[in-house]
Structure 1
């Protein structure tokens, strides 16, 4: 089977739009059989627009960027990788793993279950996790029992989940998304469990009364600052971007605070005053501090591409804190989540790299 020495991109053109990924792989890789093309997908060596693809039936559209990788990518996360932090009859708070999409795209919602299960989304995993965790019934909550890390755990003192007993199977509990995190972003999220809680939380997000704090590893050494720059849907190349126009786009405000010097890079904290799509990534990139591992905003409009040599395992962005008023009790509840293992290892590697650079011997004759 062909094995490129490095990741190779293929840009889908208008004449290729609507074709299956498998058929295009055979066109792009001379001599590739149908079975070999399918094996590339199963072997986690193909990504579309930065997201690993396992689906043999995936159809692409013009503008998509397909990468054929020399080596297998990180396995797709499953429900076992989702951690329930807190739940009750109104809300559920979770630690979203990286590389998992928050919601199923509209055009994918009617896919058969087997196809969805290849790459499950967070909103599909949560009902199963809640059902497995609520052994005491639908009113059970995490204030009385420590929540399990995944759907395979039973919880302390809980009977086996009802769905394990055939005819006694209970209906999956509903969850309602009130915000999103990018697929590659990890961190804390809240979902509503009923219509009343959904309305309340959506209103809090609209009023910007929810505290949202992120941590990011970025290029350079940003100073403490407030970035206030409006964002538009298309900056001219199909990507979202910032604008100096006082009337176009939407207001966007990000408060940035440096946390740690990592040699050529920095660990920073970003607090959102507004919550626009890709806000932190765009604001930091426009300020000259690309988020390490960002597959989109390393490209500048009408300017050179920012070269990212950081070695980031993925987009280095983590939702570290979320605080909101509980929809029923109105009590302020605050959740904080440390950097996940992959980003913690990345940060430590940058620290070691920075130390090595500081101790490189110099030639005193020069």
Structure 2
């Protein structure tokens, strides 16, 4: 069990009607909790889990949109995130938000067993104060990208910004475009992959495109084709864990370098060839639409140059 953690989970419109215990278990597993549904049911009977707005709760409750559930595990000592002086590319910062171009290999936030060396630790070292919403180990974190995915991620510095950005994510109005190199020569110029995603029942560390999962929609456009690979641009409509990786693997075009869903013989890159290249959102204070972009990292750019020159096949 992980002690000394306070995390908040908000019900999206697409989850309305699910049983509370099932929904909360899935939400927590998606945020790296290794727990069972029976554990969550026990917590629901105690003060460990509370609801906003307040009221009696039970495992069989059907959840309603915008309800918030707080998981509060007390500790003898409060959790403190230690600052780590790490190289960090801050693309934008003001009093409300900070946008970071995360390098491949960097975890977004601390977790039990990995308390140091994350993006949040690096921001703390710079004196950047993040919203306390999201949890003690995920302050200001409104969305994540995988450790071995590079690119743009936004964090909230104020509670107002946190509520605004999470609401935009839930409404699917945040612009999130990724560039990826996938196996195979794709025949369609563009298309949409719409397959529900859930935890793989055979391996809880993996996700899978299976019936009964949560709705997941990925739009794609082919940028360039090579002999055995394709460069694609992806736009997320939803934001499920490992969504792009799972969707392209499901249509037999797994991401190059993907150690979980990919192929044994692949391009030489430390992780999946996936970069969060464009991020757009409505500014929480001004209402202005802001869009940020970043160049491909050196490893992906090098692979692309090799493919274009025919040195890599």
Name the TM tier (shorter chain).
0.5 to 0.7
| C-alpha displacement of 1:82 | 1.4
Does residue 1:227 correspond to 2:224, yes or no? no
Which residue, 254, 268, 282 being the options, matches 1:311?
A: 268
1:281 and 1:264 map into 2 onto residues whose CA distance is 18
Q: For residues 214 and 94 of structure 1, do their structure 2 counterparts lie closer, same or farther at Cα, with a shift above 3 Å needed?
A: same
Count the aligned residue pairs: 219
In structure 1, the partner of 2:89 is 83
In structure 1, the partner of 2:11 is none
Which range is displaced more, 255-264 or 211-220?
255-264
Q: How does 1:31-50 map to 2 (within 5 A)?
A: none
| C-alpha displacement of 1:338 | 1.4
Does residue 1:350 correspond to 2:307, yes or no? yes
Residues 263, 351 of structure 1: 8 Å contact kept: no
Question: Unaligned regions of 5+ residues in structure 1, if any?
Answer: 1-77, 110-115, 132-171, 299-305, 358-366
2:99 and 2:281 map into 1 onto residues whose CA distance is 11
2:285 and 2:159 map into 1 onto residues whose CA distance is 12
Does residue 1:94 correspond to 2:100, yes or no? yes
2:87 and 2:250 map into 1 onto residues whose CA distance is 33
Q: How does 1:204-223 map to 2 (within 5 A)?
A: 204-222=168-186, 223=188
In structure 2, the partner of 1:156 is none
2:114 and 2:296 map into 1 onto residues whose CA distance is 31
Residues 313, 343 of structure 1: 8 Å contact kept: no
In structure 1, the partner of 2:218 is 254
TM-score (norm 1): 0.57
Q: How does 1:1-366 map to 2 (within 5 A)?
A: 79-109=85-115, 116=116, 120-129=117-126, 131=127, 173-174=129-130, 176-222=140-186, 223=188, 224-238=190-204, 239-243=206-210, 245=211, 248-298=212-262, 306-353=263-310
1:278 and 1:314 map into 2 onto residues whose CA distance is 13
Paired residue secondary structure (1:197):
helix
Residues 101, 152 of structure 2: 8 Å contact kept: yes
Residues 91, 193 of structure 1: 8 Å contact kept: yes
Paired residue secondary structure (2:215):
coil
Relative to total residues, which structure has the larger strand share, 1 or 2? 2
| C-alpha displacement of 1:349 | 1.6
Question: Unaligned regions of 5+ residues in structure 2, if any?
Answer: 1-83, 132-139
Higher relative contact order (CA 8 A, sep 6+): 2
How big is the alpha-carbon RMSD for the aligned residues of Structure 1 and Structure 2? 1.8
| C-alpha displacement of 1:126 | 1.1
| C-alpha displacement of 1:314 | 2.5
Q: For residues 338 and 79 of structure 1, do their structure 2 counterparts lie closer, same or farther at Cα, with a shift above 3 Å needed?
A: farther
Relative to total residues, which structure has the larger helix share, 1 or 2? 1
Residues 108, 120 of structure 2: 8 Å contact kept: yes
1:79 and 1:325 map into 2 onto residues whose CA distance is 30
| C-alpha displacement of 1:107 | 4.7
In structure 1, the partner of 2:20 is none
Residues 186, 318 of structure 1: 8 Å contact kept: yes
Structure whose CA Rg is larger:
1
2:258 and 2:248 map into 1 onto residues whose CA distance is 11
| C-alpha displacement of 1:209 | 0.7
